[in-house]
Amino acid sequence: MFWLVFIILSIIMAYIGKAWLAKDKDLPGGFWSILIASLIGVWLGDLIFANALWVLADVNIIGGIIFSLILIWLWTLVGGKGQA
């Protein structure tokens, strides 16, 4: 159940990041690079916040959302080409 929640949260955050943070930018790797950044962000959020806040199947949802958006935002700053 951990992996299912982990993957679903990562995919949802990647779609949100693509639609909201990287909508006018051309990123190397496209959606897949955003998905990798989202996976790393959810993992870091789960690792750092552990059992604090809202946990579902041993995945910290709030921490995953926060760190995923931060890493996607950083990736769009570093790798993005297009409008600022």
Coil/strand/helix, residue 54: coil
Share of the chain above pLDDT 70, in %: 94
Q: Are 25 and 75 in contact (CB under 8 A)?
A: no
**pLDDT score for 77:** 82
| Rounded distance between C-alpha atoms, residue 59 and residue 23, angstroms | 28
Please report which confidence band the pLDDT of residue 40 belongs to, taking 50, 70 and 90 as the band edges: very high
23-34, pLDDT tens digit by residue? Answer: 777 777 778 888
Where exactly are the structural domains of the chain?
2-82
**pLDDT score for 80:** 65
